[in-house]
Amino acid sequence: MSTQIRNLAVAGHAGSGKTTLTEGIAFAAGATTRRGTIQESNTLSDYHPDEIARKHSINTSLISLTSQNTKLNILDTPGYADFTGEVRAATHVADTAVIVVDAQHGVEAGTVQAWDYSAHDQNSIIFVINKLDHVESDFDRTVEQLKHRFGHEVAVVQFPVNAGDGFNSIVDVMKMKLLKFSPDGNYTEEAIPANVSAQADELHRQLVEIVAESDDALMEEFFANDGKLEESHFSGGIHESLAHRKLFPVLACSAEKNIGPKRILEFLVANAPAPENHIADVRGTNPNSKQEVSLSIAPKDATTVFVFKTVSEPHLGDLSFFRVYHGDLHPGADLVNESNGKSERIAQLYVMSGKNRKEVPAVQCGDIAAAVKLKDTHTNNTLSSRSFPIVLHPIEFPAPVITSAVAAKNKGDEEKMAMGLHSLHEEDPTFVVRHDPELHQMLIEGQGELQLDIAIKRLKERYKVDVEIVEPRIPFRETIKSPADTRYRHKKQSGGAGQFGEVAIKLQPRKRGEGYEFIDAIVGGVVSNKFIPAVDKGIHEFLTRGPLAGYPVVDVAVTLYDGKEHPVDSNENAFKTAGKMAFKEAFLSAKPVLLEPIYDVEISVPSERMGDVMGDISSRRGKIMGMDSKDGFEIIRAQVPLAELYHYSTRLRSLTQGLASHKQSFSHYEEAPREFADKVVAESAKHKEAEVE
């Protein structure tokens, strides 16, 4: 395993400057001869037509570059919540998260999300406070927010001297020098000005103290030398405390003005942990024994590869992005996809820099690269040698928060639509596709309206399928509130043998969730045993399409207690019809009600926006179930009818200027309000009439 690799996920809130910072680092490393810009649509990262048109990242881009004999794999991630799955995958395979924070707005929802994902994956974390050239930037306020939300391990390594118009100078408290930057991104070192020397001394002392706290030997030295550490011990302590998440350094820059990226690059090369720092923590499951195993015990010649992203490239096919966790990978290698048991032979291997790819003869352990034409391998799959089978823990993608239904505009395109949607899911596992047999709709689910819109746009461009997006139907249920008793006779005579079947049934409501029960209470053989299952079968026809509005019936007990039959005209069909019609009559006289699905909703929102969010929840017939605080955000727990959650994620972001996020999951069924239920029943009746016509 190479110690000269740095795997970095650049993450943060939308608009914080992640792509511009990545571009600045690439320029500083000599990977480009000219810094691209978002405005000119020529950055390494944002090369997809959708990204160029919208002026923001949609996909994670891999930028591989070399500086000071060290290879950096930079995963530049999108900031919009719609594409959070891209961030989730990047932090899963990175060793360090570079979280970019806008100095004008401070800690935002995307900042916290990037932190949460990185903390889950036990990544080292470096904060970069960007946009310090703006008049409204506030470095000190942003640092205080970071410390308040993420702990005292947050420590300033750099701070601006002249933030705002004319910004070009940063004090580096590791070097204890003033860094003055020129427009080309280079800098000179000068003595720290007297007016900020006290601030620099205090921040240096705080940094040394945090580093010393990470190690007993350093702490002893710290106390023995009046709060000082030898320079080599200090720099080594920075590296070790960062690797073990005992230090979260704060760096400063204006990526747009190219002030800071070069020094940030140097800091990453010198201090960001190498893959070997985390290898002992990488675990998976042996697919044969189902026991957990660690890669640290794998044989030297074993290879383990994890695929974290799939991209469909025109004229090339699927491009699989992967990280090598053990061994080295060469073209022609025969591995097993332990996620599905199928063999894979590795073809060409590529080092990526945005859309540019360079074929390489091998990929070493710890490195990130891409391969083409893997026939049975998808995102979240593990490829391994037969000598050491292992399935690495998968990426835990967030559950969908928005659902829409789609239908092909042109008849005959259904199959092509389904194939295209499935391919888009392969590229983005948070874009979920499923056919709902109950609702008779093809549903697409994801993290936001923008994500779904882009998926539909790509479906049309790549697969030439036009679809219309409609509101998904709600899976209501029907049940009863009171007992009912009815007798129904089915009699039909049309020459020759007729049909005759008479049944008497009782209906009883059951507790929620107890389902349907059929009770045979026939005494004396008034209905033959051979006809009793036919009565149950007839009732089942209404269990899937209820008498009230055509929705499934739940939580009803039916007792068959009497009936009559004819020696010639009685048969199974007659009793099936009698059972079906008796059930309909009894059901409609038993105070039928409509049940609607209720969802648990958890909303993370800044306190200043809480009132707006709670008011909106109430307007959606929601109930506030509780509140809590986490990382400086208020957590609202509520229960809301699914019928009121269509495009809720879009509304929530609008209400809070993108500062809030939410999760939702099914909770239970509950009786719908009478007025609302009447509208649903009336709408159902209209559809029935239309079907008849």
Q: What is the pLDDT of residues 92-143, one digit of tens each?
A: 999 999 999 999 999 988 998 999 999 999 999 999 999 999 999 999 999 9
Task: Check whether residue 617 and residue 656 sit in a common domain.
Answer: yes
Task: Check whether residue 151 and residue 198 sit in a common domain.
Answer: yes
688 has a pLDDT exceeding 80? no
CB-CB contact of 658 with 109 (8 Å): yes
Rg (CA), the chain: 32
Q: Pick from 530, 526, 538: which is nearest to 577 by CA?
A: 538
In whole angstroms, give the CA distance from residue 680 to residue 485. 26
**CA 90 → CA 73, 368, 572, distances in Å?**
11, 11, 61
Of 437, 470, 503, which residue sits at a domain end?
A: 470
Domain count, the chain: 5
Q: What is residue 168's predicted lDDT score, i.e. its pLDDT?
A: 96
Q: What is residue 3's predicted lDDT score, i.e. its pLDDT?
A: 67
Task: Check whether residue 64 and residue 179 sit in a common domain.
Answer: yes
Collapse the DSSP code of 619 into the 3-class scheme (helix H, G, I; strand E, B; otherwise coil) and give the result: helix
| Residue 693 within any structural domain of the chain | no
Burial class (CB in 10 A: 0-12, 13-18, 19+), 27: buried
Task: Check whether residue 442 and residue 512 sit in a common domain.
Answer: no
CB-CB contact of 618 with 645 (8 Å): no
Long-range contacts of 290-299 (CB under 8 A, 24+ apart): 293/390, 295/325, 295/326, 295/390, 298/326, 298/327, 298/388, 298/390, 299/387, 299/388
Burial class (CB in 10 A: 0-12, 13-18, 19+), 439: middle
State the pTM of this model.
0.88
Q: What is the pLDDT of residues 44-85, one digit of tens each?
A: 888 777 777 788 888 899 999 999 999 999 999 999 889 999
CB-CB contact of 87 with 58 (8 Å): no
Task: Check whether residue 584 and residue 608 sit in a common domain.
Answer: no
**Three-state helix/strand/coil letters over 39-98:** CCCCCCCCCCHHHHHHCCCCCCEEEEEEECCEEEEEEECCCCHHHHHHHHHHHHHCCEEE
| Residue 410 within any structural domain of the chain | yes
| Residue 605 within any structural domain of the chain | yes
450 has a pLDDT exceeding 60? yes
Q: Which amino acid is at 200?
A: A
CB-CB contact of 360 with 283 (8 Å): no
| Residue 688 within any structural domain of the chain | no
| Residue 9 within any structural domain of the chain | yes
Q: How confident is the model at residue 690 (pLDDT cuts 50, 70, 90)?
A: low
**Three-state helix/strand/coil letters over 419-431:** HHHHHHHHHCCCC
Q: Which helix (H) or strand (E) holds 358?
A: strand 356-360
| Residue 685 within any structural domain of the chain | no
CB-CB contact of 221 with 237 (8 Å): no
Q: What is residue 280's predicted lDDT score, i.e. its pLDDT?
A: 59
CATH of the domain at 662: 3.30.70.240
Which residues are CB-contacts of 45 (< 8 A; sequence separation ≥ 6)?
Answer: 19, 22, 23, 57, 61, 63, 76, 354
CATH of the domain at 531: 3.30.230.10
Kindly compute the dihedral angle of the four CA atoms of residues 420, 426, 428, 433, in this order, to the nearest 10 degrees.
60
Q: What is the pLDDT of residues 472-519, one digit of tens each?
A: 999 999 999 999 999 999 998 766 678 999 999 999 999 999 999 999
CATH of the domain at 445: 3.30.70.870
32 has a pLDDT exceeding 80? yes
Q: How confident is the model at residue 1 (pLDDT cuts 50, 70, 90)?
A: very low
Of 357, 392, 427, which residue sits at a domain end?
A: 392
Strand order in the sheet with 484-492: 484-492, 499-509, 556-564, 517-520
Q: Pick from 286, 129, 287, 254: which is nearest to 183 by CA?
A: 254
* Total number of residues shown for the chain: 693
In whole angstroms, give the CA distance from residue 201 to residue 193. 12
Q: What is residue 53's predicted lDDT score, i.e. its pLDDT?
A: 78
Q: What's the mean pLDDT in 670-693?
A: 82
693 has a pLDDT exceeding 60? no
In whole angstroms, give the CA distance from residue 351 to residue 456. 30
CATH of the domain at 340: 2.40.30.10
Task: Check whether residue 354 and residue 426 sit in a common domain.
Answer: no
Task: Check whether residue 490 and residue 380 sit in a common domain.
Answer: no
CB-CB contact of 346 with 315 (8 Å): no
Task: Check whether residue 81 and residue 167 sit in a common domain.
Answer: yes
Q: What's the mean pLDDT in 546-575?
A: 94
Q: What is the pLDDT of residues 404-441, one digit of tens each?
A: 999 999 988 999 999 999 989 988 999 999 999 988 89
Task: Check whether residue 159 and residue 191 sit in a common domain.
Answer: yes
Collapse the DSSP code of 199 into the 3-class scheme (helix H, G, I; strand E, B; otherwise coil) and give the result: helix
In whole angstroms, give the CA distance from residue 534 to residue 531. 5
In whole angstroms, give the CA distance from residue 632 to residue 625. 20
**Three-state helix/strand/coil letters over 561-585:** EEEECCCCCCCHHHHHHHHHHHHHH
Q: Which amino acid is at 566?
A: H
| Residue 445 within any structural domain of the chain | yes
657 has a pLDDT exceeding 90? no
Q: What percent of the chain has pLDDT over 70?
A: 97
Collapse the DSSP code of 351 into the 3-class scheme (helix H, G, I; strand E, B; otherwise coil) and give the result: strand
In whole angstroms, give the CA distance from residue 381 to residue 325. 13
Task: Check whether residue 523 and residue 658 sit in a common domain.
Answer: no
CB-CB contact of 147 with 206 (8 Å): no
Q: What's the mean pLDDT in 155-164?
A: 96
Q: What is residue 208's predicted lDDT score, i.e. its pLDDT?
A: 92
Which of the residue ranges 385-389, 490-494, 671-675 would you say has the lowest mean pLDDT?
Answer: 490-494
Burial class (CB in 10 A: 0-12, 13-18, 19+), 402: buried
Task: Check whether residue 20 and residue 148 sit in a common domain.
Answer: yes
Q: Pick from 346, 467, 476, 334: which is nearest to 409 by CA?
A: 467
| Residue 680 within any structural domain of the chain | no
Q: What is residue 37's predicted lDDT score, i.e. its pLDDT?
A: 83
Of 442, 470, 498, which residue sits at a domain end?
A: 470
Average pLDDT, the chain: 92
Our CA angle for 449, 446, 450, nearest 5°, is: 25
Q: What is residue 109's predicted lDDT score, i.e. its pLDDT?
A: 84
The domain containing residue 521 runs over which residues? 478-590
Task: Check whether residue 455 and residue 546 sit in a common domain.
Answer: no
Q: What is residue 214's predicted lDDT score, i.e. its pLDDT?
A: 83
Our CA angle for 554, 559, 563, nearest 5°, is: 135
Q: Pick from 432, 316, 301, 314: which is nearest to 374 by CA?
A: 316
Q: What is residue 306's predicted lDDT score, i.e. its pLDDT?
A: 97
Q: What is residue 495's predicted lDDT score, i.e. its pLDDT?
A: 65
Q: Which helix (H) or strand (E) holds 555?
A: none
